[in-house]
Amino acid sequence: MRIPIQLWRSEYGGDRNEWTAEITEQVPDQRIAWRSVDGKTNAGEVTFKPADANKTEVTVQMDWEPQGLKEKIGGALGFDDRQISGDLKRFEEVLDERGGQETGAWRGEQR
């Protein structure tokens, strides 16, 4: 089963962007990978690995192509890494508020 293409949104350097992406692999509680199909060129994966009884190690690998001067300078100065780190911190806060409960979104497996 293919997961439908989804609209994604981001904000970087005060600019809002939208693009469509598809999930290329999903193993619940382990890994999710995606690639853009139009708009902003990017692809990546997020992996989840148990660290101890109440902690999970989350690793993000993302490839993207900076477009325009602002994104190229921001990437060279590491602003993209700081953006992702901040997003992961906010993700952790959301999970903590929910007590680690899932959102109820589709949790099927795709390879």
Is 108 contained in some domain?
no
Is 104 contained in some domain?
no
Q: Which residues have CB under 8 Å from 26's CB, separation 6+?
A: 3, 32, 33, 108, 109, 110
Distance CA 101, CA 111 (A): 24
Give the residue numbers spanning the domain of 68.
Answer: 6-98
Mean pLDDT of 59-81: 90
pLDDT digits (tens, 9 = 90+) for 40-63: 889 999 999 999 888 889 999 999
Is 105 contained in some domain?
no
Query: In terms of pLDDT, which residue wins out, 60 or 2?
Result: 60
pTM, rounded to two decimals: 0.77
- The pLDDT value recorded for residue 46 is 94
- The pLDDT value recorded for residue 1 is 54
Distance CA 37, CA 35 (A): 6
Mean pLDDT of the chain: 85
State how many domains the chain has.
1
Is 110 contained in some domain?
no
